[in-house]
Amino acid sequence: MPSRRDFNQIPVLDLQLADDISTKPQLLAQLRHALIHVGFLYVVNHGVPQTAISDIVNALPDLFSLPPEAKEEVALSNSPHFLGYSGDGTETTAGKADRREQFEFATELDAKWSTAEPLYERLRGPNQWPSAYPSLRPIVETYISEMTLLGQRFLRLIAEALSLPSPEPLFAFLSDQHRLKLVRYPPSTLEPGSLVQGVGPHKDSSGWWTFLLQASSPHVRGLQVLSGNGSWIDAPVVPGSFVVNIGQAFEVVTGGVCKATTHRVVLAPDSPERFSIPFFQGVKRSLTKQEAVGTLEDHFKRLHDKDPSGTQGAISIDSPFLEGKYDTWGESQLRTKIRSHRDVGKKFYGHVFDKYVNE
Ligand SMILES: O=C(O)CCC(=O)C(=O)O
Ligand SMILES: [Fe+2]
């Protein structure tokens, strides 16, 4: 018998159905199914203005064509907040180097960390803006604001789909800082039959929810999602959509009823350059394990007991946050960031570097 998380395609949800009381129940039922059985979905008619999307998509070719010194000016290695540019091959996922270059931005905030505060508060801080491309800043800021709003609308729908009495408990987990990556995968020139890792298999660890814009034309493929039966399902470009998926903290808070699903990007032989823009809705840094597990535990246990077939297996949660020895989400994030960007770790977090890298 197929397990509950076998799927062979990713559902497409029309958020406009929420605007009419006669169609909203249909949307909520589709959403509940996608949350519990797939962990990945597309949204269309999502309400994000087309100009905010096309402005950022159109900025990508010029941004990535900047000369090396303009990229160096905003290198991630300058930033204790892990914001800025990192080059092709500098990040590893599942033990292998990823083939992508990226600019990482976040909600624009001051750096106000002092030694009286937990070290993870130093993750909060301002962006680095390339001086060679001054028009980028308003484009990115507008996009982050719009995606912040979409994330909030989406959380309200999720609360209803999961029968929560109110969305407030979900909002209480949110951070003041959401993160955005502008990503370019290079064209591939491989021999037939070989595949290159754009980004290796992973579950999103840095956010509550991810909203991904596939910013290339529909013939450019690459994103794949792991079904419960072990097969990789293509997630092609659906024009006018965002791909939405669950982050690891949300899996923890729902007691594993909603699972973070593994995904990857593979570059096939002769594949063209590919752009994507993931927005990671942030989780508050001070969140403790106890709060994450305990706040909605009773609700999700009841949901599981009411529909044990639908949420079968809900008890197992595979979470570095829960399994790790660090009690807050912020510290667990800081550790992850230091491990994946060791140059930044050594430079700004020298006194904890060995602890986080060797433990
Ligand atoms: O580029 C993509 O399509 C996916 C990127 C991704 O999964 C990530 O950055 O977490
Ligand atoms: Fe991801």
Which pLDDT does position 1 carry in this prediction? 37
Q: In this model, does residue 312 exceed pLDDT 70?
A: no
Whether 48 maps to a domain, the answer reads yes
pLDDT score recorded for residue 344: 94
pLDDT at position 56 over 90: yes
- Whichever domain contains 44, its CATH number is 2.60.120.330
The pLDDT of residue 119: 96
Mean pLDDT of 184-200: 84
In a domain, 82, yes or no: yes
State whether the beta carbon of 204 lies less than 6 angstroms from ligand 1. Answer: yes
**Single-letter residue type at 33:** H
Q: Is residue 7 part of a domain?
A: no
Q: How far is the CA of 288 from the centre of ligand 2 (A)?
A: 23
pLDDT given for residue 174 in this prediction: 97
Q: Which ligand is nearest to the CA of 183?
A: 1
In short, whether 183's Cβ falls inside 6 Å of ligand 1 is yes
Q: Reply yes or no on whether the pLDDT at 296 is more than 90.
A: yes
pLDDT (tens digit, 9 = 90+) per residue, 322-353?
Answer: 888 889 999 999 999 998 899 999 999 999 99
Phi and psi based region of residue 46 (left: phi greater than 0; alpha: psi -120 to 50; beta: remaining): alpha
Helix 50-64 to helix 136-161 angle (10° resolution) is 130
Q: How many CB atoms lie within 10 A of CB 285?
A: 21
Residue 67 lies in a domain: yes
Tell me what the mean pLDDT of segment 115-138 comes to. 97
Ligand nearest to the CA of 180: 1
Banded pLDDT at 310 (limits 50, 70, 90): low
Give mean pLDDT, residues 64-69: 98
- For residue 4, tell me if it sits in a domain: no
Q: Is-contact 2 229, C-beta < 8 A?
A: yes
pLDDT tens column, 154-170: 999 999 999 999 999 99
Q: How many CA atoms within 13 Å lie on the side-chain side of 136?
A: 19
Q: Which of 88, 90, 263 to mutate to test the pocket of ligand 1 (most atoms within 8 A of CB)?
A: 263
User: Does residue 265 have its Cβ closer than 6 Å to ligand 1?
Assistant: yes
pLDDT at site 2: 40
Query: Chain-wide mean pLDDT for the chain?
Result: 92
Question: At 318, is the pLDDT very low, low, confident or very high (cuts 50, 70, 90)?
Answer: confident
Instruction: Give the Cα separation of 180 and 136 in Å (integer).
Output: 13
Q: Which among 90, 178, 181, 183 is the best mutation to test ligand 1's pocket, defined by most ligand atoms within 8 Å of the CB?
A: 183
Strands 179-185 and 101-106: what pairing?
antiparallel
- Residue of the nearest CA to atom 3 in ligand 1? 223
Ligand in closest contact with the CA of 100: 1
The verdict on residue 290 lying in a domain is: yes
Task: Output the residue whose Cα is nearest ligand 1's atom 10.
Answer: 204
Query: Considering the domain boundaries, does residue 2 fall inside one?
Result: no
Q: With contact defined as beta carbons under 8 Å apart, do 162 and 32 qualify?
A: yes
For residue 315, name the pLDDT band (cuts at 50, 70, 90).
Answer: low
Among the listed ranges 103-112, 197-206, 210-219, which one has the minimum average pLDDT value? 197-206
What is the pLDDT, as a whole number, of residue 193?
73
Q: Is the pLDDT of residue 273 over 90?
A: yes
Query: Which domain, by its residues, includes 81?
Result: 12-358
Q: Which atom of ligand 1 is nearest to the CA of 181?
A: 9
Q: Could you tell me which residue, 92 or 142, shows the higher pLDDT? A: 142
- Whole-number Å distance, alpha carbon 183 to ligand 1 midpoint, is 8
The whole-model pTM stands at: 0.95
Total residue count of the chain as it appears in this document: 359
Token representation of residue 115: 């030694």
Q: Which pLDDT does position 321 carry in this prediction?
A: 85
Mean pLDDT of 176-188: 95
User: Comparing 41-45, 210-214, 217-221, which segment has the lowest mean pLDDT?
Assistant: 217-221
| Any domain includes 6 | no
Cβ-based neighbours of 291, under 8 Å, separated by 6 or more: none
Is there an atom of ligand 1 within 6 Å of 276 CB? yes
| Number of domains, the chain | 1
- Residue 223 CA, closest ligand 1 atom number: 3
> Whole-angstrom Cα distance, residue 235 to residue 241?
11
Q: Is the pLDDT of residue 16 over 50?
A: yes
pLDDT of amino acid 325? 84
CA–CA separation, 188 vs 80, rounded Å?
33
CA 209 – ligand 1 centroid, Å: 13
